[in-house]
Structure 1
């Protein structure tokens, strides 16, 4: 079962897209045209995102009794902020493709792409106006920027710990998923402890999906992911599996550290070698097990809801990874 075929995600995508299109339609003309390219709405054959955030919002809404219109508004606000981060990530990482299409910055330039990202962030906050939690979403944006700042800083450091890398991943991915679930519960009038539980749930699911994305960055099937494999290794990025490999205390980890210590982007033979070294340290198996652990921890926070839909969505992190990964190690 692939992610795109999972009916919960497909239903969530179909439900939130009209709201997103209406919101993006309020942007000034130039920004709107560029945003339409980013979302792929100008190409009926373009790939789309996973829609995990909207799906989790709608599942949370059903679990806590939130109104559908309110949940869709929350989902749209969060997706707009999420896409702000995607545009900025593509610029920072110099990723030329997203979902198999030219990334926004490669078409309109870096400055224009960053401006569109900023506009989507502002639009996300504006979308939530009139509901509870605008301040919470604004703080989440600050946390996302901090997570991205840590990611950039790590590229210049050789002493990054696994705990620091987990903190960075929570900041880049987990906090927005946590915020999405918490905002939904908050606007349903849930008690503070329930709101916190859904926030904690979302953060852990976010880390699980970040681990899945990190693994796909090394072992993904390019035809399925729409992004080049091993670009993280070539650019000497320090994702969770790579930090685990570097800190493994193995001969393979030491050799990988030597490649990273050169400080220059790896050529193709070096990248292939680095990939093999990461595999030899057991980092792939560690990350796969960690996905399962994070999912189990997340579900422990919301077990009282008894929602099979939330359980199913949480477990999609590993399904997502498996569906887009190659067997090559």
Structure 2
């Protein structure tokens, strides 16, 4: 199991050869450390929280690749393509268990923080279940899609901040404000990911430009466009994956609907709301503000 998990993190390949693999953005650990600094929390405890959160995050990535049948992760073959679905899911489960154990066995972490992370996992699973169900269900509303995005992406960023605040002994108002901050950032990043799923640079995102449309995925900008573009709705209703020409045309329909402009503005709006939560929690934080702003840079830097 260690060999399989090591492959996911890019530490070594399936033959056991050590190498430097790709890594993610590490936003969640960065949030923990920045929140801990703003709250003057223990650096040692913050590192433990960051490790636990990142382990749980990687559990979701391993399972997500299986559910979506994505074949690449961080520039290398996804775990399930190398070791099979069963071993990949088991490795994901082990990462989840290790994340919860890491947090629970640290002497300075209160039980409320462990319970908060466990509750977050339930919310993550609910979000993933919604995402999978949406692929087969017609008539998805924008509110449903936003709720799914908050649960699938936002809640773990919120949890990273909330657990840090709980370990720092912060009061409920501060915990809630930092939780809200993280959720807003998560949804901003989800908007960015969804836009890149249509217009992203393949060399940066690891998947072909327009792939979300080609696969008939129902992401935030697409759901927004489906409500006002009958031609796009018809393409989706046919249930047949789109070829390159059809995907390009579908992308033009998303633009025509105003959904691209709306989604781009939502990234900015969500970041601004997140920053107000930081001000409410700790009176402002340069590092937490900078981390919020990363969603804009991430989007712009990875466009085709």
Alignment TM class, shorter chain as reference: over 0.9
1:230 to 206, 210, 215: 210
Task: State TM-score, norm by structure 2.
Answer: 0.93
How is 1:18-33 mapped onto 2 (pairs within 5 angstroms)? 31-33=1-3
Deviates more, 1:70-79 or 1:221-230: 221-230
The answer to whether 1:288 aligns with 2:264 is yes
Distance 1:276 1:95 in 2: 25
- The number of residue pairs the alignment matches comes to 292
- Structure 2 match to 1:7: none
CA contact (8 A) 1:100 1:227 kept: no
How is 1:221-300 mapped onto 2 (pairs within 5 angstroms)? 221-247=201-227, 249=228, 253-300=229-276
The answer to whether 1:310 aligns with 2:288 is yes
Change beyond 3 A, Cα 1:280–1:45: farther
How is 1:311-326 mapped onto 2 (pairs within 5 angstroms)? 311-326=289-304
CA contact (8 A) 1:173 1:210 kept: yes
Unaligned stretches of 5+ residues in structure 1: 1-30
- Structure 2 match to 1:36: 6
Distance 1:148 1:160 in 2: 15
Distance 1:276 1:135 in 2: 45
Deviates more, 1:55-64 or 1:267-276: 267-276
Distance 1:41 1:230 in 2: 31
Unaligned stretches of 5+ residues in structure 2: 13-17
Task: State TM-score, norm by structure 1.
Answer: 0.86
1:60 to 35, 41, 48: 35
Q: Deviations over 1:77-99 (max 9, x none)?
A: 01011001101111111111011
1:155 to 118, 135, 140: 135
Secondary structure class of the residue paired with 1:302: helix
Distance 1:158 1:60 in 2: 40
The answer to whether 1:127 aligns with 2:125 is no
The answer to whether 1:96 aligns with 2:71 is yes
Moved over 4 A (4+): none
